[in-house]
Structure formats: C-alpha cells, structure tokens
C-alpha cells in the first residue's frame, strides 16, 4: 500500500511539472496552425506537442486516494476520504452538518 502511494505521488509531481509546458505547447500549436492558414504557409509544428507528451505525465493515470487509509475505491472527491472513514467522521460529529441515518 505504501509503495502504491509513493508511486501515485511521483505521478502527481510529474504531472504538475509538465502540465504548464503541455498547455503552453498546445497554445503555440493552435496559434501556429491558425497563422499558417491565414498566410498560406506550410509549417510542421509537431515538435512542440510531442516534446512534453509522455505516458507518465497524463492526468488519467492519477488516482483518488483516501487521506487516512490510502484506499482507492469509494473515495469522496470533496473531502478526499473513503466512504468508511467519512461515515465514521459523520457519526462522531467531526464533519459538521451530517448525522448518521437511523431508521
């Protein structure tokens, strides 16, 4: 479990490092293409986009994990807690405004 958390943290650091570069290269790519269409110039701008596109820096590889239990399934996005921990916190009143449902 700890190894998976460390691996996920590495992916997150890589993504944050390359996110700005990818956005800049996409912006330049679209502007170069629009400029080339206006001026009727043939430009091969693929080097801008392929330079920073790596498999490890994609956003889909990131997984939501619970802060306390490191669980990947059943994680609430707003609190970053798994459903089990969230239920316990609600039961004891740690998260205000929620109560355990009693029938």
* CA of residue 30 relative to chain centroid, distance: 23
- 35 and 5 in a single domain? The answer is yes
CA gap 70, 25 in Å, rounded: 34
Specify the pLDDT at position 65. Answer: 85
- 53 and 85 in a single domain? The answer is no
Torsional sign, CA 51, 21, 30, 42: negative
Whole-structure pTM over 0.75, yes or no?
A: no
CA gap 57, 39 in Å, rounded: 34
List % helix, strand, coil for the chain (3-state, nearest 5).
55, 5, 40
Q: pLDDT tens digit string along 32-81?
A: 767 666 666 666 655 555 555 566 666 776 778 888 888 889 999 898 89
CATH of residue 85: 4.10.830.10
Task: Output the six-digit token pair for 8.
Answer: 């996920």
Q: Evaluate whether 65 touches 5 at the Cβ level (below 8 Å).
A: yes
- Average pLDDT (24-31) is 76
Average pLDDT over the chain, rounded to whole?
77
Domain of residue 103: give its range.
Answer: 64-103
- 44 and 91 in a single domain? The answer is no
Q: Look at 6 and 34; give whichever has higher pLDDT.
A: 6
Three-class secondary structure of residue 69 per DSSP: coil
- 53 and 70 in a single domain? The answer is no
């Amino acid at each position: 479990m700890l190894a998976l958390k460390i691996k996920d943290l590495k992916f997150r650091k890589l993504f944050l490092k390359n996110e700005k570069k990818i956005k800049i290269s996409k912006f330049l790519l679209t502007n170069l293409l629009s400029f080339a269409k206006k001026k009727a110039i043939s430009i091969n701008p693929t080097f801008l986009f392929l330079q920073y596109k790596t498999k490890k820096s994609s956003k889909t590889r990131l997984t939501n994990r619970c802060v306390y239990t490191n669980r990947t399934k059943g994680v609430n996005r707003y609190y970053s807690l798994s459903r089990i921990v969230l239920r316990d916190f609600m039961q004891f009143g740690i998260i205000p405004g929620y109560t355990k449902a009693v029938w």
